[in-house]
Structure 1
Amino acid sequence: MVKWGIAHIFSSHNNTIITVTDITGAETLAKCSGGMVVKSDKDEPSPYAAMVAAQRVAEELKEKGVDSLHIKVRGIGRGRSKSPG
């Protein structure tokens, strides 16, 4: 039987947070962030930190038997213009 999970990926200017829940969203199966895998604060928003965080989450999920994911991504948008007028 296929075990599903939902990967919630939130990316901001300062960090990347990856949380995986079961299909109902009630139980957290694994979580990791860029700040948990790098030593200095300046490296938290880097693509390397996001990649290592994703690898750690994938390893945890393999141990728990999750073999399929539905991915939800939230990130920064255009927002407002920085220049007035």
Structure 2
Amino acid sequence: MAKITKRSSKKIKRNVPTGIAHINSTSNNTIVTISDLNGNTIAFASAGSSGFKGTRKSTTFATQIAAENATLKAIDQGMKNIEVWFKGQSSGRETAVRAIANKGLRVISIVDRNGVPHNGCRKPRRRRV
């Protein structure tokens, strides 16, 4: 007869002093993921998971609340310093950095990781009215 073992669902508390905050801001939502320097996720939050629905998800206040929620989870894991990497052109980029800094993490650097086109796809023709 096979032995059935019970898995423990207890979260492991790590001590990660430095990490990276990946902030992906689109026109509809903002996703904040905090990882260690190797890229392993420590904490994440989004404007939708913070309780905002519909058009309120794209506001700067929703971005601020999402960044605060992810920061508090990362501080529980022992994080003290953080780098901020942005992706996307939506509003709320500045408020996300302020929210992270106000919660007690020291912002080391800010990096913009927007994709720059190398003249790939042809633009659509101009509309004639």
* TM tier, smaller: 0.7 to 0.9
Which deviates more from structure 2 when the two are superposed, residues 55-64 or residues 33-42? 33-42
TM-score normalized by structure 2? Answer: 0.56
TM-score normalized by structure 1? Answer: 0.82
Q: 2:65 is matched with which residue? A: 52
Which deviates more from structure 2 when the two are superposed, residues 11-20 or residues 36-45? 36-45
Q: 2:33 is matched with which residue? A: 19
More helix by share: 1
More strand by share: 1
1:63 is aligned, of 60, 66, 76, to: 76
Query: Shift in Å at residue 61 of structure 1?
Result: 1.1
Letter in 2 for 1:51: Q
Distance in 1 between residues matched to 2:125 and 2:51, nearest whole Å: 34
State the percentage of identical aligned residues: 28
Q: How many residues align?
A: 81
Gaps of 5+ in 2: 1-15, 90-113, 118-122
Distance in 2 between residues matched to 1:13 and 1:54, nearest whole Å: 17
Distance in 1 between residues matched to 2:76 and 2:82, nearest whole Å: 15
1:38 is aligned, of 51, 57, 82, to: 51
Letter in 2 for 1:74: K
Matching of residues 63-82 of structure 1 within 5 Å: 63-76=76-89
Gaps of 5+ in 1: none
The structure having more radius of gyration, on CA atoms, is: 2
